[in-house]
Structure 1
Amino acid sequence: MTKLGRWALLIALVVVVADQAVKYWILEVLRLQEGQTIPVFGPFRLTGVWNPGVSFGFLQAHHDLVRWLLAAFSIGVAVMLGVWVRATGRPLFAVAVGLVMGGAIGNVVDRVRYGAVADFIDASPLHFPWIFNVADSAITIGICLLLIDMLRQDGRARPQGKAGGATGDAA
């Protein structure tokens, strides 16, 4: 395994541990119930929601078959990203992949254990309608970093123009 591959796995592990530790605290220590809201500070609240879908409530999985298909798909994506990081050799890409993998695995753990994902971070007073969790945040940040990495690579891949800035053939 490459050094960047190890970094991606370490980041994924940190995300999974952080996600599950926070969910443990929310569910077992704080005992936040479905629909219960606790003000935290400013516009942020903790609101208990069980999400049978994927990030931000998309693709609701109310049937066991769909739940297991979502879990298998998430694991497949994590494995595919792990293989992909070995081929790129780019640090930002490795960080992004680690975040996405960790978030996907963190939510799979919930889906397998509970049949749904525990969501609780509520910023609805900021007109953000979704309730989410640490894993969703890692996935979102990871995808943003993947886009930045792709844009950086796209900029490097473009041919440089000749002196004066012309990039096409003379007519």
Structure 2
Amino acid sequence: MRSYALYLAALIALIVDQATKIGVVFGLDLVRVLRIDVAPPLLNFRYGENRGINFGLFNDGGDSSRWILIGISLIICAAVFLWVRRSHANSRLMLISAGLVIGGALGNVLDRVLYGYVLDFLNMSCCGINNPYVFNVADVFIFAGAAGLILFEGRAKSPRDLLRDMR
């Protein structure tokens, strides 16, 4: 198995996630100013501390829920890693997708360990819809990686197979 693609994708996702958080939240002093309009409404920086999961779910928990969420994230990383290894995925795209999920999840785990919450700063709205939620680059990697795992599930598919599966 060419697992170097998985490791490299995970490492790049982790580094890019942490670099963007440090650069935007601390470098641009978003932690103090709380909001920076970059290209409104499409792209704005809004400071957020996510102590829960997506969309602020389970946000009311204390320190115990922080460690539970860290544990769940690490279990998911291990499960994705083992699943890809056991499936003998030969698709480089499948391995990269798994690496993106793992790297993104580890980026959010690192935030929880360092700060007690996940640093969020991206806010995007469009077409008259005002999105009140913030997210981060790790979330983008997790979403893209999960989509890749679905699309490149380990067996080669032709474009015709993909279209048939979407029906």
TM-score (norm 1): 0.80
Please give the alpha-carbon distance, in whole angstroms, between the structure 2 residues aligned to 1:84 and 1:9.
Answer: 15
Q: Name which of 36, 39, 45 aligns with 1:38.
A: 36
1:140 is aligned to 2:143: yes
Give the RMSD, CA atoms, in angstroms.
Answer: 2.2
Q: What is the CA deviation profile of residues 85-141 of structure 1, one whole-angstrom value per residue up to 9, with x for unaligned ones?
A: 212223222121111101100000001111110100011345344210000000011
Give the structure 1 partner of residue 27 of structure 2.
29
Please give the alpha-carbon distance, in whole angstroms, between the structure 2 residues aligned to 1:61 and 1:155.
Answer: 44
Give the structure 1 partner of residue 68 of structure 2.
69
Give the structure 2 partner of residue 119 of structure 1.
120
Please give the alpha-carbon distance, in whole angstroms, between the structure 2 residues aligned to 1:57 and 1:68.
Answer: 16
**Structure of greater Rg:** 1
Change (3 A) 1:138 1:34: farther
Which SS does the other structure have where 1:120 is aligned? strand
User: 1:48·1:119 contact (CA, 8 Å) conserved in 2?
Assistant: yes
Which SS does the other structure have where 1:27 is aligned? helix
Q: Which runs of 5+ in 2 are unaligned?
A: 159-167
- Shift of the alpha carbon at 1:60? 2.1
Q: What is the CA deviation profile of residues 46-70 of structure 1, one whole-angstrom value per residue up to 9, with x for unaligned ones?
A: 0001010123433325311110010
Which SS does the other structure have where 2:152 is aligned? helix
Please give the alpha-carbon distance, in whole angstroms, between the structure 1 residues aligned to 2:151 and 2:65.
Answer: 32
Please give the alpha-carbon distance, in whole angstroms, between the structure 2 residues aligned to 1:125 and 1:58.
Answer: 24
Letter in 1 for 2:4: R
Aligned positions, number: 153
Deviates more, 1:80-89 or 1:65-74: 80-89
Please give the alpha-carbon distance, in whole angstroms, between the structure 2 residues aligned to 1:57 and 1:45.
Answer: 19
Runs of 4+, deviation exceeding 6 Å: none
Give the structure 2 partner of residue 107 of structure 1.
108
Please give the alpha-carbon distance, in whole angstroms, between the structure 2 residues aligned to 1:61 and 1:114.
Answer: 16
Identical columns (%) = 34
